[in-house]
Amino acid sequence: MRIFKKLISFIIVLVITNSILIYCSAKSTNTISAITSNRPVKVGVLLNNFYNSYNLSIKKSLEDIQKEKKNEIQFIFFDGESNPAKQSVIFNNMLQNNYNLLLISTVDKKTPEMIEDFVDKAKQKDIPLIFFNIRPDNLDIIKKYQKAIAINTDSMQAGILQGKMIADYWNENKEMDKNGDGIMQYILIKGQPESYLTETRSNYSISTINEAGIKTQELAAVSANWDEDLAKSVMESLFLKYDGSIEAIIANSDSMAIGAVKALQTYGYNLGDKTKTIPIFGIHATPEVQELIKKGFMAGSVLQDTRELADAFYSVGMNLILGKDPLEGTNYKFDKTGEIINIPFHEYVYQKEDK
């Protein structure tokens, strides 16, 4: 009887083990089959919103890759509407639709519980997960899952490059110092409150200007939540309050810089007349902003090539889907955390000879 019970236990264990192996093999086979049979792998992309010009540029870059590799990969996009609750619902729905990879850009607040929930659920489903622009203090959470990594833009570098660009502009355009006191009076339009991106970009931008030997005076620092319309609204009020005193407008992103341009234009400023222009500086150098710079409506922006970012999503993502090392066959490197791949920014300055 005892031998019979042991035999039954052994058979049960064997059946369970084989079932697990078959499931894992089937999952891997389905992914490889999708790649080798002209059936594209499916990638779910959750953007924190669709109104941000930078997010829309990322979306377009991914769509371009899909057109170039139409039999290989398909991106399906979801609008998180800057709402954590909505993003959680979308993510849960994505898990049920057999995606081979998930690209996630969450609302940049202190929401480790939501990040942890995403990681745990993706791990249960064995779906590779790439976060982009995740807060560094959430890294311990994604380390829990071998198939979860982060691809970030370097916010510190963005702030430093923006500050350097502003300092150069100040030194090359003495008329920027309207009152001749040698102090740059500026307005800072910040992104989301309590955001790592906001604080890092803001702090490094201003500190870089100061390190260049330029004294600064902050007239106002306001949050526009990365939103163009909100930036336009707050800038309209600030223009009336500080009319004649504003020597520079520094925005944490291009969307908010565009809002500032539109606000000033309602008062007849920043329409190409240098005598009625307040220099506005952004971050990302989206195509729309590059046109504004060429027209003289904006002073400059820091370039983050969204195609470069999208290429990283594609290359690293395909490696994860195929169970390879995420960096295999690429020139990317992890930072010191071993979890983040940083995509660099580049200074963008409109060349005078092109005017």
Q: How far apart are CA 183 and CA 44, in angstroms?
A: 48
**Pairing of the two strands 148-153 and 129-132:** parallel
Which segments of the chain have a pLDDT < 70?
Answer: 1-38, 107-111, 136-138, 349-355
**Contact in structure between 69 and 100 (CB atoms under 8 Å):** no
Residue found under tokens 């058979």? 11
Q: What is the pLDDT of residue 39?
A: 80
Amino acid identity, position 16: I
Q: Which DSSP string do the residues of 15-36 spell out, in sequence order? A: HHHHHHHHHHHHHHHHHHHHHH
Q: What is the pLDDT of residue 194?
A: 79
Q: How far apart are CA 118 and CA 269, in angstroms?
A: 46
**Contact in structure between 303 and 54 (CB atoms under 8 Å):** no
Structure tokens at 124: 């249960």
**Contact in structure between 192 and 133 (CB atoms under 8 Å):** no
Q: Which DSSP string do the residues of 48-84 spell out, in sequence order? A: S-SSSHHHHHHHHHHHHHHHHTTTTEEEEEEE-TT-H
Q: What is the pLDDT of residue 320?
A: 97
Structure tokens at 105: 């850009």
Closest CA to 75 of 329, 314, 304: 314
Q: What is the pLDDT of residue 351?
A: 44
Indicate if the alpha-carbon torsion angle 115, 119, 120, 122 is positive or negative.
positive
2-60 pLDDT, tens per residue? 454 444 554 444 444 444 444 343 343 344 444 445 689 999 999 988 988 899 999 99
Q: What is the pLDDT of residue 27?
A: 42
Q: What structural domains does the chain harbor? A: 34-153+306-345 (3.40.50.2300), 156-303 (3.40.50.2300)
200-244 pLDDT, tens per residue? 999 999 999 999 999 999 999 999 999 999 999 999 999 999 988
**Pairing of the two strands 280-284 and 248-251:** parallel
Q: What is the pLDDT of residue 51?
A: 83
Q: What is the pLDDT of residue 112?
A: 78
Amino acid identity, position 183: I
- Rounded alpha-carbon distances, angstroms, from residue 247 to 22, 35, 74, 107, 138: 67, 55, 46, 32, 38
**Contact in structure between 249 and 280 (CB atoms under 8 Å):** yes
Q: What is the pLDDT of residue 9?
A: 52
Q: How far apart are CA 226 and CA 191, in angstroms?
A: 5
Q: What is the pLDDT of residue 113?
A: 83
Q: Which residues contact 247 (CB under 8 A, 6 or more apart)?
A: 176, 177, 178, 184, 185, 186, 278, 279
Q: Residue 108: how many CB atoms within 10 A of its CB?
A: 19
Longest dimension (CA), the chain: 100
pTM of the model: 0.83
Q: How far apart are CA 175 and CA 180, in angstroms?
A: 8
Closest CA to 194 of 85, 89, 288, 109: 109
Closest CA to 221 of 201, 245, 249: 249
Q: With the CA atoms of 80, 85, 86 and 87 taken in that order, what torsion angle do they form, in degrees rounded to the nearest 10? A: 50
